[in-house]
Amino acid sequence: MTTVIVDDEQHCLDALSGLLERKHPDLEILGMASSVSEGLDMIRAHRPDVLFLDIEIGDRTGFDLLQSLGPDRPHVIFTTAHESYAVKAIRFSALDYLLKPIDPDELEDALKKVIKATRGTQNADQFLSLLQNLSGAKERAGKIALPVADGLEMVNTEDIMYCESDSNYTVVHRRDQKRLVISRTLKEFEDMLAEQGFVRVHHSYLINVKHVQKYIRGEGGEVIMNDGTNVAVSRRKKQELMDSLERM
């Protein structure tokens, strides 16, 4: 396999390339770029199998590079120095990422996934979901792209009443009484929606406080949603819910 690394910090380029040379000598490094434009030229010229892509590249981002690159992409492994909304969106889209400083074992796991995969395993919907969710957060558009069986469904977050955990799936309950079963955990939904008025009130429920009809006092209490559903509130989440309701 072959790879290109795009990162605007020289010490990060040196660290990752050194790690690859020591631990994964079969992965040929075709080049390293420190800007979006340089990275684009290098990828188009060499067509690597794997792209290690930094999230923040100078005054631009790795997502700018992806949009310019179009659908014919190598297998992308994002790299970043810190957890952020972007990382949550990457995780929600089921794409690969590594946190810096890069752990050798995590790098090995990521590359094992690439070896098992074919060039087209990361499908266009995953990248569309990622870019849509990042765009929605940036513009406060109030939409989320949800992966469904035949593609993506764009849903207004205001139309989501609550999300219910079902093992490794989440059932999204909408105010039109339609339900969507999404192959993402409730924790991943919590990461994506926490800043849009959603509160995890129970290990099985993430609610949109805009759709709370009534709060019933108790040790933790419970809420009645606009569709009549009663949702228990855990004691440790009670204050967070109260604070959210007061901000409405």
Looking at residue 192, what is its pLDDT?
Answer: 93
Looking at residue 121, what is its pLDDT?
Answer: 66
CB atoms within 10 A of CB 186: 23
Which residue(s) pair with 57 in the sheet?
60
168: left (phi over 0), alpha (psi -120 to 50) or beta: alpha
Looking at residue 123, what is its pLDDT?
Answer: 85
Q: Quickly tell me which residue has 């266009």 as its tokens.
A: 124
Give the CATH superfamily of 2-129.
Response regulator (3.40.50.2300)
Residue among 83, 15, 14, 20 nearest 50 (CA): 20
Looking at residue 72, what is its pLDDT?
Answer: 83
* Phi, psi dihedral angles at 207 (to 5 degrees): -115, 150
pTM value is: 0.86
Looking at residue 142, what is its pLDDT?
Answer: 84
Tens place of pLDDT for every residue, the chain, 248 residues? 999 999 999 999 999 999 999 999 999 999 999 999 999 999 999 999 999 999 999 999 999 999 999 888 999 999 999 888 899 999 999 999 999 999 999 999 999 988 887 555 688 899 999 998 988 666 655 889 999 988 999 999 999 999 999 989 999 999 999 999 999 999 999 999 988 899 999 999 999 999 999 999 988 899 999 999 999 999 999 999 999 999 87
Looking at residue 237, what is its pLDDT?
Answer: 94
Domain extents for the chain? 2-129, 143-247
CB atoms within 10 A of CB 51: 22
Fold for the domain defined by 143-247: OB fold (Dihydrolipoamide Acetyltransferase, E2P) (2.40.50)
